[in-house]
Structure 1
Amino acid sequence: MKKYTSTLVKSCCLAAAYILFAASIAFAQLPGSGGPQPQEEEEEDNTPPPTGVPIDGGASLLLAAGAGYGIKMLRDRRNARKQ
């Protein structure tokens, strides 16, 4: 039991460190560093307006799915050890 707890703590610490590291380098662009700029409505160029990309929704769903899968795997492993 102690070995399992130690492994779980190490895994959680490693996952937290990875998430913090990934979050710190996830900034794609600084404000004003490029990309399409919003246009005034008076201008009638043939260029399309900038598009918004909903990254947060998909990333949240993937994160929730990964967490659910991890919990399922831990429960299955725990039930297998009890039998």
Structure 2
Amino acid sequence: MKINRLPAFLLLFLLTAASANAQGPGSGGPQPGGSPTEVPIDGGASLMLAGGAAFALRRLRKRRA
């Protein structure tokens, strides 16, 4: 049984795009001497990169077999 994923993808895309709003102008960033508000994205980004590489290798190995 083959499932067409295009309608589900389009519905998901439209629902997420409709809820995305632009942010208004901020205060211009953090002021010197204040509490830091920056958050490093190292942990999540490296996990996503490793997961994508593992998925790609799995797909390539499955295609060769």
Q: Report the TM-score when normalising by structure 1.
A: 0.40
Structure with higher helix content: 1
Q: Give 1 or 2 for the bigger CA radius of gyration.
A: 1
Larger relative contact order, structure 1 or 2 (CA cutoff 8 Å, min sep 6): 1
TM-score w.r.t. the length of structure 2 is: 0.49
